[in-house]
Structure 1
Amino acid sequence: MVFSRISLIVLLAAFVSTTLVGQTLVSISYKGQRSQETLSQQYGFLIQNGVELWKVTYTTPDVFNQLDTASGLLVLPVREETTIYPTLIYQHGTVDGPQDVPSNLQGGYQLALVFGGLGYATLAPDFLGAGTSRGFHPYVHADSEASAAVDMLRAVRGYASQIDLLLNDQLFVTGYSQGGHASMALHRALELDLASEFSLTAASHMSGPYSISGVMRELMVSEEPYNFLAYLPNTYLSYNYVYDFYDDLEQFFKPTYTNAIRNFYEGNIGLSNLNNFLISNLTNEYGAPIARYMLQDSIVTILEDADPSHPVIAALAANDTYEWAPQQPTRIFYCTADDQVKYRNSIVADSVMQALGAVDLITFDVNPDADHGGCVEPAVIQTALFFNSFADWTVGTRDQWDDLEVKVFPNPTSQKLQIHELSEVAAVRVLNQQGQLMLTKELPMGDNELMINSLSPGIYWVHLQTKTGQAIRKVVVE
């Protein structure tokens, strides 16, 4: 039966929600399934399998080091044969409110489905202050973004054998937008603090605000119109919640804006409603949605001076995530036209990490013309291709997705591409650097010639897939 894991766990989850002695997992409940056909129709040809969805709750410390119960979504691949899976942690982007989260099948959970459909046992933490966790969500707070993910990983790995989930030692980390900030914070913790416990395979950080004290601070005190103003009060509320700067909102924001910000803090309105209010009022009063005009003059001065000894500036700097050198293969994907998270976050992160000695770090603009929403698809496709070049899946006694023994040449090329020694029929797909599908064809076993003269000069990914394996090659077209 395909869904062999479900029967026992559904019975347990239906009648029991109790702390498991000696483990940090509190409960697990079944949230449904998606077939491979459904996922393929929604998310494209890279999907390898259907998935099961589970809500997981687990214990983890809050920002005050008090034990809390957090939640997240666990997406498990479904295959006919017993399979040993790699693990992937996906950190989600900014959400509208504390219940707009992956474990409730909201809050960007779709990308967790994609990675599960690619064959990764995927964990998507809700973050602290969201889902089942108490308190205010510590937005772009690096330490808690990392700790919530680490403890979910510990909980799932500790319980995996009891739900017949087989995991290998591979671990992949990624996230988009706020999740990019969170994935970089997690990556840093795994390499610098937890290397003896976890072995990271590769990481991909997508369109994240890595430079809170630099790029994002400068944006908030600039004269540049910005249509995502609510990120500023959300960040202030988060850091004031953690670090306790001020007693009253009017010490930071002008009175016109404090009631709406307080309503958001108290959960009476969502982030989108707050953003609409701020845009409307700033535009009416100043002619454009410029963030600095909602701030008290004294706060503008503090942010402009950027004195590192000031508690506010020190808190911003404490939540930058790039001042270290990744040692495992790492990619940073961004889009120059990003209208929410300025692309310079990625440039700054790359330059500092490279200077500090990053081993295998490439930062790449996946679509210069895409805004924040448009950047998702090419960034995720590039991440999938990158991770798939490392990932191992053991099915029964064979490695299903090891690299095919196939020759792809010449490289560089211009008119033709030779694809030789195929052991079985293969689907070939050629994608550009933006993740767009440029060419697709089925090739017979043996030696083949693929005409590529319709492609413009540039770098392309050639993806070959058979019933038992796949190969991914980077090819330069001249």
Structure 2
Amino acid sequence: MKFWTGLALASAAAMLAACGGGSDPGGSTDIDLSGARGSLMYNPPLQVTAMGAADFTARLQGGGTSGQTLLALAGAPKCDVSFRYFEYGTVGGAGEATNASGALMVPSGTAAGCSGPHPIVLYAHGTTTDRGYNIADITNPARPGASEGTLLAAMFAAQGFIVVAPNYAGYDVSRLSYHPYLNADQQSKDMIDALTAARKALPATGGQDNGKLFITGYSQGGHVAMATHRALQALGQRVTASAPMSGPYAMGAFGDAIYYGNVDLGATVFAPMLATSYQKAYGNIYTQPSDLFEAAYAPGIDTLLPSYTPIGELFAQGKLPQTQLFSNVAPAPGFESITPPTQPPELAPLFALGFGSSNLIRNSARLAYLMDAQAHPDGAVPAATTGMPATAPGNPMRQAFVKNDLRGWMPQSPVLLCGGDADPTVFYNVNTGLMAQLWSSLVSAHLVTVLDVDSAPSGADDPFAAAKAGFAQAKAATAAQGGANAVVQAYHGGLVPPFCTAAARGFFQQVLASAH
């Protein structure tokens, strides 16, 4: 389920392996094993590799179609980049002390914007089922995270931004046995702790922070980025701007939409990760997993993801169904029309994939959820009223969704919301579109900007015309090669991310320019 599958940069990452790596020669290392939040476990952090701008450019050019595509989208690297790996103290979903790791990318060089203090991009990655995920390990294309690390380096670090990209608690070397998936409180703390630790590391790496902080992330990372902006604002810490991309911001509305039958692509992976995350945090999602999951899948599902076993193998082993979230038998009379839904007609085939006889979620659990949704409706789903989350849900899963719903706060610094309106995985209208409606006054005031990359340029002065045109070309090429189904499969994970990321960088650069 890792995104950017359509822009797989394995060949480019393989070329980067020639750059070398290893720890810094000489000097001493400071150790902090206190486990305190934001503690930097060793300083200076491990240097994975370093490369000059010209070398990076040559390697992208020699990295095949994927590397050349990234080079065209990101532009030629102008800065040298040092890639670091660091470990830090943070907390789990129940507040338990734990550790996590991340990538720190530091630009340098003689070109404009490469020397002196730099702005920081704090980056949140999207859903991955791979327990070994590590964005810092860009030199080994066989390792999860290499492609994303390469993209971040090209898009941000090589253009003069310091990049801080946590792997999150529950991944890589983290001793946490689960991942606090879409837990807004924990994940914002994780991001803040990674930022705190990375700032401690900067003096030893030759990096300087100029005080400008940008936050971005895609999919799960879009939710994490927005939650982090909200948390830092509440702490009185200034965020220069943020760019959440294709995130499930309105968790209560999105969850209700899915249980009402609008099953998204990837739901059978997201459901167990959410259930485990919220069970660990709140303790009331179920008494035992079989309360929520069918007997065929319940044994061991609470420890299944993330995993060192590839998701395809887990499907093949029968640990999870590929698409069938719900039973194709209505949970009770009166729910036949949403088992599965047939409206709107263009989405009926997608929704139908989520139903069958090998379903993951028990009908009794779906019925309990739906009964609560009818008694305590969300303000946006199934009908638009207040637009806000349900005020008094009784179902534990709905309570968890509302607790992690990001509606109800107002940013005080610029925000770009980016996505594609035909997203089959994180529905645009009930997430990005809904936040845009709730923030309509901020959109009018030009504090919030909304970009649908799957739309036509608004005119000659559209600042995102290039992103929209590039997306349209990529979408058409995908359709020509594999048809409409290929577009659906690639939309969320491959087509939208690179263009939203390029738009985010342009937005950040515009904010920086306007401050001068």
Alignment partners' CA distance in 2, 1:230 and 1:141: 16
Report if the CA contact (8 A) 2:107-2:161 is conserved: yes
Amino acid at match of 1:352: L
Which residue pairs with 1:448 in the alignment? none
Amino acid at match of 2:82: E
Q: 1:290 to 1:297 in 2, by over 3 A?
A: same
Which residue pairs with 2:124 in the alignment? 91
Q: What is the CA-CA distance between 1:388 and the residue it aligns to?
A: 0.8
Count of matched residue pairs:
386
Alignment partners' CA distance in 2, 1:366 and 1:238: 31
Alignment partners' CA distance in 2, 1:284 and 1:146: 31
1:296-307 correspondence to structure 2 within 5 Å: 296-304=362-370, 305-306=372-373, 307=376
Q: 1:301 to 1:34 in 2, by over 3 A?
A: farther
Report if the CA contact (8 A) 1:221-1:303 is conserved: no
- Secondary structure of 1:102's aligned partner: coil
Structure number with higher relative contact order (C-alpha < 8 Å, ≥ 6 residues apart) = 2
| Pairing partner for 1:64 from 84, 91, 94 | 94
- Secondary structure of 1:158's aligned partner: helix
| Pairing partner for 1:222 from 243, 246, 261 | 261
| Pairing partner for 2:41 from 15, 18, 26 | 26
Q: What is the CA-CA distance between 1:343 and the residue it aligns to?
A: 0.9
Residue 272 (structure 2) pairs with residue 186 (structure 1): no
Which residue pairs with 1:365 in the alignment? 452
1:140-155 correspondence to structure 2 within 5 Å: 140-155=182-197
- Secondary structure of 1:347's aligned partner: helix
Unaligned runs of 5+ in 2: 1-19, 62-66, 139-143, 329-348, 377-392, 456-471, 476-490
Higher relative strand content: 1
| Pairing partner for 1:290 from 323, 345, 354 | 354
Residue 410 (structure 2) pairs with residue 325 (structure 1): yes
| Pairing partner for 1:121 from 139, 162, 165 | 162
Alignment partners' CA distance in 2, 1:168 and 1:295: 49
Residue 71 (structure 2) pairs with residue 76 (structure 1): no
1:448-467 correspondence to structure 2 within 5 Å: none
Q: CA-atom RMSD, angstroms?
A: 3.3
Which residue pairs with 2:433 in the alignment? 347
- Secondary structure of 1:390's aligned partner: helix
Q: 1:291 to 1:116 in 2, by over 3 A?
A: farther
1:122-137 correspondence to structure 2 within 5 Å: 122-133=163-174, 134-137=176-179
Residue 229 (structure 2) pairs with residue 163 (structure 1): no
Alignment partners' CA distance in 1, 2:26 and 2:94: 33
Report if the CA contact (8 A) 1:140-1:182 is conserved: yes
Unaligned runs of 5+ in 1: 1-5, 393-400, 404-478
Q: 1:137 to 1:227 in 2, by over 3 A?
A: closer
Alignment partners' CA distance in 2, 1:144 and 1:156: 18
Return 380-389 or 40-49, whichever deviates more: 40-49
Alignment partners' CA distance in 1, 2:151 and 2:169: 20
Amino acid at match of 1:166: Q
| Pairing partner for 2:500 from 379, 395, 415 | 379
- Secondary structure of 2:41's aligned partner: strand
Q: What is the CA-CA distance between 1:303 and the residue it aligns to?
A: 2.5
Alignment partners' CA distance in 2, 1:103 and 1:7: 11
Report if the CA contact (8 A) 2:49-2:82 is conserved: yes
Q: 1:290 to 1:20 in 2, by over 3 A?
A: closer
Amino acid at match of 1:361: V
Which residue pairs with 1:172 in the alignment? 214
Which residue pairs with 2:420 in the alignment? 335
Q: 1:228 to 1:325 in 2, by over 3 A?
A: same
Higher relative helix content: 2
Residue 273 (structure 2) pairs with residue 234 (structure 1): yes
Report if the CA contact (8 A) 1:334-1:346 is conserved: yes
Q: Which has the larger radius of gyration?
A: 1
Alignment partners' CA distance in 1, 2:92 and 2:323: 35
Alignment partners' CA distance in 1, 2:401 and 2:498: 30
Report if the CA contact (8 A) 2:79-2:159 is conserved: yes
Q: What is the CA-CA distance between 1:376 and the residue it aligns to?
A: 1.0
% same residue = 24
| Per-residue deviation, residues 36-78 of structure 1 (Å, max 9, x unmatched) | 2435643231633231111111112222323222111111113
- Secondary structure of 1:255's aligned partner: coil
- Secondary structure of 2:32's aligned partner: coil
Report if the CA contact (8 A) 1:279-1:289 is conserved: no
Alignment partners' CA distance in 2, 1:8 and 1:256: 46
- Secondary structure of 1:172's aligned partner: strand
Amino acid at match of 1:206: M
Return 245-254 or 293-302, whichever deviates more: 293-302
- TM-score norm. by structure 2 comes to 0.67
| Pairing partner for 1:207 from 246, 254, 265 | 246
| Per-residue deviation, residues 352-409 of structure 1 (Å, max 9, x unmatched) | 23368995011110124651120012101111111111337xxxxxxxx998xxxxxx
Alignment partners' CA distance in 1, 2:203 and 2:369: 50
1:29-48 correspondence to structure 2 within 5 Å: 29-37=46-54, 38-39=56-57, 41=61, 42=67, 43-44=70-71, 45=75, 47-48=77-78
Report if the CA contact (8 A) 2:268-2:325 is conserved: no
Amino acid at match of 1:149: M
Q: What is the CA-CA distance between 1:147 and the residue it aligns to?
A: 0.6
